[in-house]
Amino acid sequence: MRPTGFCGCGLSLEDQPGEVVERRQQIEVPEPKTEVTEYQQLAVRCVCGSEHRGVFPVGVTPHVSYGPRLKAYAVGLVDGHFVSLSRTAEIIADQYGVQPSDGSIQKWIGQAAEILRPVYDATREALVAAEVVHFDESGVRVKGQTQWLHVAGNAEHAFYSIHPKRGVEAMTAAAILPRFEGHAVHDHWKPYFRFEAVTHCLCNANILRELRYFEEANDEHRWPVRLREILVDGKKAVEAAQAEGRTEVAAARVEALLSQYDDWVNLGLAVFPERPGEAGQKGRPKQAPATNLLRRLRDFKTEIWRFLHDFRVTFDNNLAERLIRPVKVKLKVAGGFRAVGGSEAFCVLRSVWKTNQLQGVNPFHTLRAAFAGG
């Protein structure tokens, strides 16, 4: 941007030499517009009488069709950014002047899921072979019924599946935990412990929330406060060791933390002791909620403190919870899945989309390549 006019001395600025003293940049997107490409099929008749016709590119149907970029854009808005079908059609119409039907977009979602299923299956196998995987589950609505969305993931892969059941049957159908032999980070949902080849690691964020509840409900007791503080101290000890480039917490520090932990768990159980079963009583005697928590803290000490001994294991299960959370957004937008096929397609596409993001790949590129046959 060259200055114009005259200097105060009267000389013209156009005749004076200049130099760049400041740079500013502005990012803009191109004007949205559609491109219509006409493909003409040629027929060649051999001298022998046989006729040969050229082959149209993949996706070019006998009627007017939409191209890979537009299809990828629509599918990405729906299953990548959780925009409803009707809103997606409106956005495309506002931007490009063409409006595909809701049915067309739903069809593209099914096509993309079918094309990308091998990628989905490869993600499952990558997680089976991983050292650490986070697991979680949450209820969703499919055809007006409650079903369960299960997620498995780590820093590089995300895998979603939907099943009518929440427990072992669903976990088996997802086909990761039955073959997994690494470290599984999860909450205290009992079906996880049915998979005995797994090294179990419990989410301490859940435990902190439970301790906070008992701290507020029983403010005269110190055991919930101290146990919460000890767990947080363990987390800070790991973070300090990692910041210093160490691969383990000092043995003396580990021993002190675990000793304090045992003391306060035992003190809590002295306040809320286990109730023995009565003669002739069937089943386990009912325990106070605080007793149940303290028993878990005692009986699953190894799984709770796994993060202190193995830095590959995180303190909490936030990774899996972050994978689940966006799906709740979709449920607020759409209210649920209207068909089982739609929920299955969502799992495939969401797995591919999130895995792309974790690996630094633009998921729209993946969708465009899928529709283009590349």
User: Could you write out the DSSP letters of every residue in 80-95?
Assistant: IT---HHHHHHHHHHH
Mean pLDDT of the chain: 91
pLDDT in tens, 129-153: 999 999 999 988 888 888 999 999 9
What pLDDT score was predicted for residue 244?
Answer: 95
Q: Is the pLDDT of residue 275 over 80?
A: yes
What pLDDT score was predicted for residue 373?
Answer: 83
DSSP string, 112-142: HHHHHHHHHHHHHHHHHT-SEEEEEEEEEEE
Which of 273-277, 336-340, 346-350 shows the lowest mean pLDDT across its residues? Answer: 336-340
What pLDDT score was predicted for residue 339?
Answer: 60
Other beta carbons less than 10 A from residue 221's beta carbon: 16
Residue closest to 359 by CA, chosen among 123, 163, 197, 136 = 123
Element (H, E) at 151: strand 145-153
If you average pLDDT over residues 282-292, what whole number do you get? Answer: 85
More confident residue, 226 or 63: 226
What pLDDT score was predicted for residue 333?
Answer: 66
Strand partners, 133: 184
pLDDT in tens, 63-115: 778 999 999 999 999 999 988 889 999 999 999 999 999 999 999 999 999 99
Per cent of the chain over pLDDT 70 is 95
pLDDT in tens, 247-274: 999 999 999 999 999 999 999 999 999 8
The CA distance from 223 to 267, in Å, is 7
Taking only Cα atoms into account, the Rg of the chain, rounded to an integer number of angstroms, comes to: 30
Q: Is the pLDDT of residue 279 over 60?
A: yes
